[in-house]
């Protein structure tokens, strides 16, 4: 479907040889005041080129512009103000939505291109930390947005399962490890051991040497080290997978840092052969003076590999193994220098595809104003956060939904959704402060609010398909009872008080196809429906914007706009009680909204229960 702005720009450009469609489209504004119409084109910039006054251009175009999409064109003080033909826009939008269904908003912009997305990537032997939640949910959302835009996406979990910290853990286990405790407490016990190592090493620095020794043994394949390490990995993965299951997140590969251990010698050989490796204070580095950066550390004095070394090996592998056109790395912005450095090493190695490597940074997460650090042990565990979110949601729903199984299922989708949405509701580079009162503020601009709005639209559709038509004489009496619950104010908790949340413990089902009847868009022109029509119309543009800027918050914001526009429509425009033609047209709009909300929720990784 061609967007309105694109269409208008194209038609105006055709009227005037000196005008350029792309330029006009960029200049089109959406005026804040309704009396200025839906779109406005300032003609000042054209004035010089066309040697006419802005007002003369606007007047000329207002007179000559003839298009189905435009109801009225006026020239006002050098602006060309356009009011859209609302029925036409509504019909185009609904027809596209009905034709494409869940593919509405998708595209083939990325066709034939493969993107590897490296996300989540937590560190073994440490509990899944709330900061890793950001990488996980941003990465998962990007994967969905990019797939929806035609790319082939490979989700990779670059587990932090290699490095000197394993030497520390092996040392700690040697001194204070108790298999029974590890068995019982799993990852929590591993964290205790790690924290204890740091405490003790302050007084006994020789422990650090011991740890380096153990990591060297691990890298050389020492059986005792390898076996214990494998156990740490197993315990950690069991824990991570529980979290992923809750979040509904998946990966195509769990190739962590250790996966590249046997690929390292070839990388070192290549660096050496290309004359890039230099000795610096006993360590091996690649100089990046030309880039104005400190050298990239490749090998430590003791010959052990480093985080950048493993990233270089991983990039070479991904480029060839997946034939990747782009490789994205979703981590916190504190790692910016690390990525810049080793991207530069790839460039110095002579690979033109260095430009395919993109760091997708995001802001820090703090919990109640405090920073997070593993060494001191004050980690906020995501598993606990999610559990609490679900429990709190279930408590809110306790009196509203009788059936406990249905309630638990919905509380899971809504509670987890609240946490994910909170994380994706702001621009990814902004820091987030994780405060319960905000995450679970279900009256605000939150995931539950959007999910609730979707369920509300579904409920309306279910009633419509179950209810007799008001023009059916046999049902004349019944129709009167089909009063919408549109009197309820916006806001999720209040809306929870509505009746018919769940009918007899079951979930109301509906068949959208049976409701769809083309035509009738002339009934969708009132002021309460128009913002909703426009929000639906713009959805594909918003997906494109999210894809180009690698920014899931574009989708979250769109969902809030859509939900707010729908709730205003719902409040002002009764549906089921209207005459058949109006009812059918409004139901089309409700069906289209439900579909678009569902798609948007999917794109940021939230479920869309039909009944809340
Ligand atoms: N494990 C790292 C951390 O927790 C993130 C890894 C990101 N991916 C990468 N290829 N470096 O900080």
106-156 residue pLDDT tens: 999 999 999 999 999 999 988 787 778 999 999 999 999 999 999 999 999
Please tell me if the CB atom of residue 165 comes closer than 6 angstroms to any atom of ligand 1.
Answer: no
Give residue 304 CA to ligand 1 midpoint distance, Å: 18
* Separation CA 371–CA 366 (nearest Å): 5
Residue 591: what are its φ and ψ, rounded to 5°? -60, -40
| The domain defined by 4-84 carries CATH number 3.20.20.120 | no
The pLDDT of 97-110, averaged and rounded, is 97
Q: Report how far apart, in Å, the C-alpha atoms of 46 and of each of 19, 24, 52, 268, 358 are.
A: 8, 9, 8, 58, 38
Position 532 confidence tier, pLDDT thresholds 50, 70, 90: very high
Contact 268, 278 (CB under 8 A): no
Spacing, Cα 123 to ligand 1 middle (Å): 8
* Residue-level pLDDT at 469: 60
Q: Are strands 79-84 and 70-76 parallel, antiparallel or unpaired?
A: antiparallel
Q: Atom 1 (ligand 1): residue with closest C-alpha?
A: 160
State which ligand 1 atom lies nearest to the alpha carbon of 331: 7
Task: List the residue whose alpha carbon is closest to atom 5 of ligand 1.
Answer: 121
Locate CATH 1.10.730.10 in the chain.
434-603
Span 318-334, mean pLDDT? 97
Q: Is residue 486 within 8 Å of 570, Cβ to Cβ? A: yes
Q: What distance in angstroms lies between residue 284's CA and the mean position of ligand 1's atoms? A: 22
Tell me where in the chain the CATH 3.30.1360.70 domain(s) lie.
Answer: 4-84
Helices (runs of H) and strands (runs of E) counted in the chain: 24, 12
* Helix 86-100 with 530-549: angle, nearest 10 deg: 50
Query: In this model, does residue 478 exceed pLDDT 90?
Result: no
Q: 185-213: b or e for each residue (b if 16 or more CB lie within 10 Å)?
A: ebbbbbbbbbbebbeebeeeeebbebbbe
Residue 609 DSSP class: -
- What is the pLDDT, as a whole number, of residue 468? 61
Longest dimension (CA), the chain: 93
Q: Residue 459 is encoded by which pair of tokens?
A: 């409920």
- Identify the CA nearest to 343 among candidates 332, 363, 327, 364: 327
Between the ranges 213-227, 296-310, 546-560, where is the mean pLDDT highest? 546-560
- Encode burial over 382-410: b for 16+ CB neighbours within 10 A, e otherwise: beebbeebbebbbebbeebbebeebbebb
Q: Give, as one character, the DSSP assignment of residue 323.
A: T
pTM to 2 decimals?
0.89
Say yes or no to pLDDT of 14 above 80: yes
Q: Of 116, 135, 158, which is best to mutate to test ligand 1, by the most ligand atoms within 8 angstroms of its C-beta?
A: 158
Six-digit token string for 551:
């920014």
- The CATH architecture assigned to 434-603 reads Orthogonal Bundle (1.10)
pLDDT digits (tens, 9 = 90+) for 386-428: 998 999 899 888 887 788 888 999 999 999 999 999 999 999 9
Cα(567) to centroid(ligand 1), Å? 41
Q: What is the pLDDT of residue 487?
A: 32
Distance 335 CA to ligand 1 centre (A): 9
């Amino acid at each position: 479907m061609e967007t309105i702005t694109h269409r208008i720009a194209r038609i105006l450009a055709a009227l005037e040889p000196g005008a350029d469609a792309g330029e006009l489209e960029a200049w089109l504004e959406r005026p804040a005041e309704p009396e200025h119409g839906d779109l406005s084109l300032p003609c000042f910039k054209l004035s010089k080129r066309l040697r006419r006054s802005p007002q003369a251009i606007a007047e000329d175009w207002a007179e000559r512009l003839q298009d189905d999409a435009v109801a009225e064109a006026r020239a006002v003080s050098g602006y060309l103000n356009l009011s859209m033909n609302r029925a036409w826009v509504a019909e185009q939008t609904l027809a596209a939505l009905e034709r494409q269904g869940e593919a509405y908003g998708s595209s083939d912009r990325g066709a034939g291109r493969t993107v590897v997305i490296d996300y989540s990537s937590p560190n073994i032997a440490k509990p899944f930390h709330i900061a890793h939640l950001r990488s996980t949910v941003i990465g998962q959302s990007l994967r969905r947005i990019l797939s929806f835009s035609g790319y082939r996406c490979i989700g990779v979990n670059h587990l932090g399962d290699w490095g000197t910290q394993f030497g520390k853990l092996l040392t700690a286990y040697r001194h204070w490890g108790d298999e029974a405790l590890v068995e019982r407490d799993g990852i929590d016990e591993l964290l205790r051991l790690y924290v204890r190592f740091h405490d003790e090493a302050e007084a006994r620095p020789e422990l650090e040497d011991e740890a380096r020794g153990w990591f060297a043994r691990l890298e050389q394949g020492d059986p005792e080290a390898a076996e214990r390490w494998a156990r740490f990995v197993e315990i950690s993965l069991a824990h991570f997978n529980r979290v992923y299951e809750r979040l509904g997140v998946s990966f195509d590969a769990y190739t962590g840092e250790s996966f590249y251990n046997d690929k390292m010698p070839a990388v070192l050989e290549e660096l050496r052969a290309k004359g890039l490796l230099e000795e610096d204070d006993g360590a091996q580095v690649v100089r990046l003076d030309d880039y104005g950066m400190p050298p990239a550390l490749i090998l430590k004095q003791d010959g052990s590999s480093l985080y950048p070394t493993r990233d270089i090996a991983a990039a070479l592998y991904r480029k060839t193994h997946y034939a990747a056109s782009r490789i994205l790395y979703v981590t916190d912005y504190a790692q910016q220098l690390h990525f810049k450095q080793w991207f530069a090493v790839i460039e110095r190695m002579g690979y033109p595809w260095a430009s395919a490597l993109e760091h997708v940074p995001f802001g820090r997460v703090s919990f109640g104003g405090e920073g997070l650090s593993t060494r001191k042990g004050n980690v906020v565990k995501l598993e606990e956060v999610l559990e609490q979110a679900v429990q709190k949601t279930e408590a809110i729903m306790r009196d509203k939904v009788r059936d406990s199984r249905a309630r638990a299922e919905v509380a899971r989708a809504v509670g987890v959704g609240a946490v994910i949405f909170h994380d994706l509701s702001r621009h990814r580079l902004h820091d987030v402060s994780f405060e319960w009162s905000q995450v679970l503020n279900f009256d605000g601009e939150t995931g539950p609010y959007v999910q609730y709005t979707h369920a509300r639209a579904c409920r309306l559709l279910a009633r419509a398909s179950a209810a007799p038509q008001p023009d059916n004489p046999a049902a004349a009496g019944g129709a009167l009872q089909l009063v919408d619950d549109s009197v309820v104010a916006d806001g999720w908790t209040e809306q929870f008080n509505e009746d018919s949340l769940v009918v007899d413990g079951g979930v109301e089902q509906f068949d959208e196809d049976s409701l769809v009847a083309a035509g009738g868009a002339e009934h969708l022109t009132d002021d309460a429906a128009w913002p909703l029509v426009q929000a639906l119309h713009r959805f594909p543009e918003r997906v494109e914007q999210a894809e180009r800027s690698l920014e899931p918050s574009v989708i979250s914001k769109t969902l809030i706009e859509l939900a707010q526009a729908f709730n205003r429509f719902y409040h002002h425009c009764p549906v089921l009680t209207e005459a058949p033609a109006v009812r059918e047209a409004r139901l089309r709009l409700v069906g289209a909204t439900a579909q678009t909300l569902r798609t948007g929720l999917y794109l940021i990784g939230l479920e869309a229960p039909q009944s809340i």
